Amino acid sequence: MPKPRSAAERIAQARRLIEQARRLPLPPELGRNDLSYIAQVRDLLRQARDLIKFLPQTVGVPEEIKQEVKKIYEEIEETDRALISPASAKSE
Enumerate the domain spans of the chain.
Answer: 7-90
Residue 89: pLDDT band with limits 50, 70, 90? very low
Q: Which of 84, 63, 78 is nearest to 15 (CA)?
A: 78
In the chain, what is the greatest distance between 2 CA atoms, to the nearest angstrom? 49
Q: What are phi and psi of 2, to 5 degrees?
A: -70, 150
pTM: 0.82
What does the mean pLDDT of the chain come to? 86
pLDDT, residue 91, reads 44
Taking 70 as the threshold, does the pLDDT of residue 92 lie above it? no
